[in-house]
Structure 1
Amino acid sequence: MAPPSNSVVKPQRLESLDRIRGVAVLGILLLNIVGFALPGAAYENPRAYGGWHGADLLAWGVNFLLFDGKMRGLFSFLFGASILLIADAAQAGGRDPVRVHYTRMAWLLVFGVAHLCLLWDGDILAHYALVGALAFPLRRLPTERLVILGLLLVVAAMAVFALVPLLVWTLQHQASDVAGAQANAGQLQSLNNSFGIPSAQAIARELAQYRGGYLPILRARIAESGTNPLAMLFFYGPETLAYMLLGMASLRSGLLGGAWPRERYRRWLRCCWGFALPAYAALAAWLVASGFALLPVTLASLPLTALVRPLMIVGWICLLHLALHPGSALASRLAAAGQMAFTNYLMTSLLCTSIFYGYGLGWFGHFSRWQLYPIVVAVWLLILLWSKPWLARFRFGPLEWLWRSLARGAVQPMRRTDFARSAIASQ
């Protein structure tokens, strides 16, 4: 990420970041929709549920190659960049950056835990709050050191991820007696329920749970997922922290903010995707040839993809800077969706759980994989249609305003006219 400088980032909103964030908030639904609509193992393994032939296999393959992990990675890069921007804005405004950051992270943790417990167990906000607290003291590192530390954390993440396929291999190959084999079979079935082909009983149990009422789902979610933020911090923390630090470096180097010449973006896109896409395609072919067996799935979805995912993320940044022309209708719609990413992310949880869970339309488990994507397109259109008109009247999305007001300990001006009047009054 060849750095022209380590200069302080100007405390201003960068529309280029909002455009990329808008793509990320739309793109992440391509993966999350599986978590909303199908039993959990289907997220990693299409053979678990929802179909793995024909159009269903194609839907899985496109997501595996282009979107799975990459949209989450884009969010993490952008979150790291926002740490720099908000700290600089706080300092420019005469406020304490440390207090501003940790107050924001504390409230984000509250939002994340509420989202996790009340709406959906796939929450990422609480995880970002915890990792963001760790990332903040590292923001002053020189750009080169941010890159080096980020890459070392990617290697550390691969080592953590490798524990899962190592456990699978050990269980499959080490059982010297009948009792040991039975114990191993039980642990293997537990892993199959997450990464492989769950038992019929596990599938039936999950279908019954999510086709039920709100209170039973709530009780089960709290019992099964209440400690998710801590578990995620251990398992995904190194990778997320790596991406936040690389996001800081990307902003400083000009990559993320759109400061590079177009030819440089083209060159980096060719280099990054020229290596990463064939690697992902080879992994996808291996998974299909193996029939999505447990060991290949855990290897491909965890440590092996972690090696090349950063290249895919950087390639996405380059592609979006090349493809989205500032001022175009699509770019402005995406920028508005990105500026309201917090609201739009939580809105998709509310919409999708209402569509698929039993207390809503009750469609959980009733669609094959490819049939979920017309619903994704409908949600995309809603986000793109409502975000820009809202921001024409208001300074923030509804939840962005609430988060900002709570973090600052005072109600913030919401309407643009109210903000203009308060600015005039303060002069």
Structure 2
Amino acid sequence: MSSLFQKRIDLVDSLRGFSLFGILLIHFIEHFNLYFYQSPPLEPFKALNTGIWETTFYIFSGKAYAIFSFLFGFSFFIQFNNQKKQGYDFRIRFAWRMILLMVFAQLNAMFYPGDILVLYSFVGLVLIILSNASNQLVYWVAILFMLQPLEWYQFFSSIIDIDYQPYEKINWNYFKLVSPVLASGTLPAVWKTNLWEGQIFSNLWQIENGRLFQTASLFLLGMLSGRKELFHKTPMTILFWRKVLACGLVGYGVLYSLQFYLQSSTALPSKILLSILVPTLKNFFFGSVLVAAYTLLWYTFTNNRLQSIFIAYGRMSLTNYISMAIIGSFIFYGYGLSLNTTLNIVFSFIAAILVFIVQLLFSIWWLKKYKQGPLEYLWKKLTWMGDSRTQLTEP
């Protein structure tokens, strides 16, 4: 293994920042799960409202999260490999790290009932289990998870048994308990609700919409990308990302056509395919296109200022992810400015851009003074507490 992984990789930080920016946009135009909107009075603004919503969701919904998850697996490999080269087993420390992530998740969940960090802290265990497995085994397990085995079980069950009924999604029952509190409750009421009903809603939604298996798959694929040094510019990796770009476009096109075809059917097997399997695979292929295009663009223009602005944002991803929830909840929820019924999609999008700029400027300023973001530093220190070694463990 080369010395590539002894330092941070700007491309990976930039890509992580880009995906986090997409998550920020989605959360803001969704009003952090408060779907109340003021319709613009003029027709051109109504069209702009619709255009921003559809474009943002088309590009980022399900894809930004997928890229973020993929890079989580890549980061695990960086840490695991650095420790392995020094003769240490990182798995126990990583398990402790996931417990700490669960604690950070509670801070985020207090403000936003859509947290993904709880899911990450559990699914991260699959990286421990397969950390020393062969590339082939990791690849095929990742494929199995990506194909949503539970959905295929339901699909074939619906074909074999005409009376078969798919499992009922119940996350909405909890969302109905959370939503009124977010809209008009006090801050203590929001915290109390989010830490119970909000977390149940959030994690049930992710499980019932295929995120459990998909996240595990993306973690493993991210780990494989680290093993293969796919973010190290070589003729082979350039060719690889070109193939990913082509395959992603073809795969997305095929699934888009399949979805269009299945939508005309009222049969239960078709509905099961449309519920989770086809959408998650579409997001995966489109996300692959984004990663490949972003990487190839980076390789082509080594001093690309547009991509470089995301580096600092990505280096402080935990700090920015949690702080966006705190800021966003204050803007939209009843305990704060309560703008959930005032800001239309256009102004919500503008608010997201302004928050991104503030977070970005803070990230740049902070990283000029310190090597890591505040929460990143705390996470690292707590991860390695009790360890007397002083060598670099997290580039």
* Residue aligning to 2:9: 14
Deviates more, 1:6-15 or 1:323-332: 6-15
Q: What does 1:334-345 align with in structure 2 at a 5 Å threshold?
A: 334-345=310-321
Gaps of 5+ in 1: 1-5, 43-47, 175-186, 413-421
Shift of 1:152: 0.8
**What's 1:239 paired with?**
214
| CA shift digits 1:205-252 (9 cap, x unpaired) | 835642331122222223413445764675432111011111122233
Kindly provide the amino acid, as one letter, of the partner of residue 306 in structure 1.
T
Bigger drift between 228-237 and 71-80 goes to 228-237
Separation of aligned partners in 2, 1:104 and 1:319 = 32
CA displacement at 1:58 relative to structure 2: 2.4
Contact 1:159 1:303 survives alignment (8 Å): yes
Q: Deviations over 1:23-72 (max 9, x none)?
A: 11111112222444453xx5xxxxx8677973343233223432111111
Residue 319 of structure 1 and its aligned partner are, at CA, apart by: 0.9
Q: Tell me, yes or no, if the aligned pair for 2:255 and 2:278 is still in contact at 8 Å.
A: no
Which whole-Å CA distance do the structure 2 matches of 1:406 and 1:17 have between them?
24
Assess, with a 3 A threshold, how the Cα gap between structure 1 residues 94 and 241 changes in structure 2: closer, same or farther.
same
Aligned residue in 2 for 1:408:
384
Indicate how the Cα distance of structure 1 residues 349 and 296 shifts in structure 2: closer, same or farther if over 3 A, else same: farther
Q: Find 2:370's aligned residue among 394, 418, 426.
A: 394
Q: In the alignment, which residue of structure 2 is the partner of 1:181?
A: none
Match of 1:417? Answer: none
Distance 2:184 2:272 in 1: 28
Query: What letter is aligned with 2:246?
Result: R
> Are residue 221 (structure 1) and residue 194 (structure 2) matched?
yes
**2:60 corresponds to 1:99:** no
- Whether 2:51 is the aligned partner of 1:58: answer yes
Alpha-carbon distance, 1:113 to partner: 2.2
Q: CA deviation at 1:278?
A: 6.8
| Structure 2 counterpart of 1:72, one-letter code | Y
Q: Map of 1:311-330 to 2, 5 A cutoff?
A: 311-324=285-298, 325-330=301-306
Task: Please state how far the C-alpha of 1:381 moved relative to its aligned partner.
Answer: 1.5
Partner Cα separation in structure 1 for residue 274 and residue 328 of structure 2: 28
Secondary structure (helix, strand or coil) at the match of 1:28 reads helix
What letter corresponds to residue 147 of structure 1 in structure 2?
A: Y
**Structure 2: how far apart are the matches of 1:26 and 1:384?**
10
Aligned to 2:67: 74
User: What does 1:248-287 align with in structure 2 at a 5 Å threshold?
Assistant: 248-259=223-234, 260-262=236-238, 264-276=240-252, 279-280=255-256, 283=259
Asked if 2 retains the 8 angstrom alpha-carbon contact of 1:38 and 1:365, the reply is no
Letter matched to residue 148 of structure 1? W
Q: Return the offset for 1:192.
A: 7.4
Confirm or deny that 1:376 pairs with 2:355. no
Q: Provide the residue aligned with 2:122 in structure 1.
A: 130
In 1, Cα distance between equivalents of 2:260 and 2:353: 25
Rounded Cα–Cα distance in structure 1 between residues aligned with 2:106 and 2:49: 33
Shift of 1:310: 2.1
Which amino acid in the other structure matches residue 140 of structure 2? I
Aligned mates of 2:76, 2:82 — CA distance in 1: 10
SS for the counterpart of 1:358 is: coil
Flag the 1:114–1:104 CA change in 2: closer, same or farther, 3 A: same
State the distance in 2 between where 1:390 and 1:61 align: 35
**Paired residue for 1:333, among 284, 299, 309?**
309
- When residues 37 and 128 of structure 1 are mapped into structure 2, their CA distance, relative to the original with a 3 A threshold, is closer
Note closer, same or farther for the CA distance 1:233–1:257 as it changes in structure 2 (3 Å cut): farther
Residue type of the partner of 1:91?
K
More divergent stretch after superposition (265-274 vs 303-312): 265-274
Mark the CA change 1:130 to 1:8 in structure 2 (over 3 Å): closer, same or farther: farther
In structure 2, the CA distance between the partners of 1:356 and 1:285, relative to structure 1 (3 Å rule), is farther
Q: TM-score, normalised by structure 2?
A: 0.79
Q: Which amino acid aligns with 1:320?
A: Y
- The CA distance in 2 between the partners of 1:22 and 1:230, in whole Å, is 24
CA 1:120–1:357: 2 relative to 1, 3 Å: same
Q: Is the 8 A contact 1:210 1:217 kept in 2?
A: no
Identity across the alignment (%): 24
Residue 399 of structure 1: how far off its partner (Å): 0.5
Amino acid at match of 1:99: I
Q: In structure 1, how many angstroms separate the alpha carbons of the residues matched to 2:384 and 2:32?
A: 37
| Paired amino acid for 1:391 | L
Residue 19 of structure 1: how far off its partner (Å): 1.2
| Amino acid of the structure 2 residue aligned with 1:222 | L
Task: Write the letter of the residue equivalent to 2:183.
Answer: Y
Residue 179 of structure 1 corresponds to which residue in structure 2? Answer: none
d(CA) in 1 for partners of 2:92 and 2:233? Answer: 30
SS in 1 for 2:339: coil
Aligned residues: 370
